[in-house]
Structure 1
Amino acid sequence: MKKITLYIIIIIAFCSCQQKKEETNITSQEMKNIDEIVEAIIIQDSLNVFSKSEDSTMFCSELRKLKIHIPPKKKNNDFILMPPSEGKYITSFIPFKIKGYTFFSSKDSLYLLAQNLNPEKLAIEKKLINKWNNTTIEKIKTRRKNKQKSRFYEMTIPVFSVDRQSAYVELDYQCGGLCGSGQDIFLKKINGKWKIIVQWQSWIS
């Protein structure tokens, strides 16, 4: 009886640990890098989110997952380069070199795909997000339901190279209806600080 009870306790503990691992899947060092990237983009891209007035632009405190896909192949083994409905094909990252910087190479392939295990959304640490006029997706939905203005930025969870010296994020600006735009942003860690190296507009409406 004692053995059965012990086995049950071990199984429950194991399942609990597995569930916790699946829910977070982000180490403290990775979280530090993510917070630093969010702050770097807000400052370096001069996002106007520091005013906490009711009508100012807000920054979503929840980062959403960026899904990375392997493109399907045609019969002749050529990759189909049509964009996926959401996320990016891994061929968008590998190889990627611009302005003399190499961001991602073939050695990063498996690690990029492994980041599909990131949570669907990730909350930015409160000590950082409290500096800005912040919001959540649920609050935005409530504001829209009440026909209130909703201008906000939403960012993806950064994806990293194996050495954690390169990162990519998507930054969207939503201002209601058909108003909005998106940016693709590549960063490098230089002298211990994250720096935007290249960015371009990915969509506009």
Structure 2
Amino acid sequence: MKSLLLILLVSLSFTKCKNISDEPEFNSSKIKDISEIVKTVILEDSLNVLKNDKKTKMFCEDLIKLDIYIPEKRKDNEPIPPPPPPSFNNISIQNLLNNKIENQIFFTSKDSLYLLKQNLNPQKLKIEKEIVEKINLTSKEKEINKKGKGEFYNFYEMTIPIFSSDNQKAYVELNHYCGRLCGSGKSIYLKKINGKWKIVDKWRTWIS
């Protein structure tokens, strides 16, 4: 485990040295998977964001980057806790590698370097046109402006999916904001089953 963490630390240092021009572009296959995952989350998690839904909510047009970090150790060898809210969109590599779904490790040590490499994902990724035409879109900036003016807001924001090395598993975080004392977050685990992305588990991460 120590050697694995050492490798991950070296890899993390390497990714931090990359400049923004080195950020990878997603190929058409990856973009297709991301679009399918967005549709799966909207439909299977029953998000009322479709244009023909009653009492519809809004969905952010940009998927945002999920940062994967390696927890630092204190002198007593206990991990330093993650940053407090509102820094929701980050997760430790240890959590990704230790979480079990149906009593089985979801991401394995074989995925570790590939997971960490996804720290090079862009900060934002626009949702594809085929989805845009079917849902009520907004931007984080618009919703922040509403909040600043004391207006009602009710929207979802989703992270760019994190994939396993074989591209058969994915992890996303979904946050719902609906007022000062209204909101919640979920971690969502997906698998590609018979060529289709399916939610296999989801956990509540925060609630207001």
Q: Where on the TM-score scale, by shorter chain, does this alignment land: which range?
A: 0.7 to 0.9
> Within 2, Cα distance between the matches of 1:160 and 1:178?
32
Instruction: Give 1:100 deviation, angstroms.
Output: 5.2
Instruction: Quickly say closer, same or farther: Cα 1:190–1:92, change in 2 above 3 A.
Output: same
TM-score (norm 2): 0.81
> Within 1, Cα distance between the matches of 2:54 and 2:151?
10
Are the aligned partners of 2:51 and 2:134 in contact in 1 as well (CA < 8 Å)? no
1:119-163 deviation digits (Å, cap 9, x = unpaired): 111111122122011111122123334433210010011101000
Equivalent of 2:157, from 154, 157, 176? Answer: 154
Are the aligned partners of 1:60 and 1:152 in contact in 2 as well (CA < 8 Å)? yes
> Within 2, Cα distance between the matches of 1:192 and 1:186?
16
The equivalent residue for 2:43 is: 43
TM-score (norm 1): 0.82
Query: Share of identical aligned residues, percent?
Result: 49
Q: Aligned pair count?
A: 186
Instruction: Give 1:165 deviation, angstroms.
Output: 0.5
Instruction: Give 1:73 deviation, angstroms.
Output: 2.2
> Within 1, Cα distance between the matches of 2:105 and 2:32?
23
Instruction: Give the aligned CA root-mean-square deviation in angstroms.
Output: 2.2
Greater Cα offset, 165-174 or 145-154: 145-154
Equivalent of 1:167, from 159, 166, 170? Answer: 170
Higher Cα Rg: structure 1 or 2? 1
Secondary structure, aligned partner of 2:83? coil
- Give the AA of the match of 2:47: L
| Matched ranges for 1:1-205 at <5 A | 22=23, 25-51=25-51, 56-75=56-75, 78-80=77-79, 82-85=81-84, 86=87, 87-99=90-102, 101-205=104-208
Structure 1: unaligned runs, 5 residues or longer: 1-17
Greater Cα offset, 94-103 or 60-69: 94-103
Secondary structure, aligned partner of 1:93? helix
1:46-69 deviation digits (Å, cap 9, x = unpaired): 111114699731011101110000
> Within 1, Cα distance between the matches of 2:126 and 2:149?
25
1:31-59 deviation digits (Å, cap 9, x = unpaired): 11111000001000111111469973101
Instruction: Give 1:176 deviation, angstroms.
Output: 1.6
- Give the AA of the match of 1:107: K
Structure 2: unaligned runs, 5 residues or longer: 1-18
Secondary structure, aligned partner of 2:106? strand
> Within 2, Cα distance between the matches of 1:21 and 1:55?
42
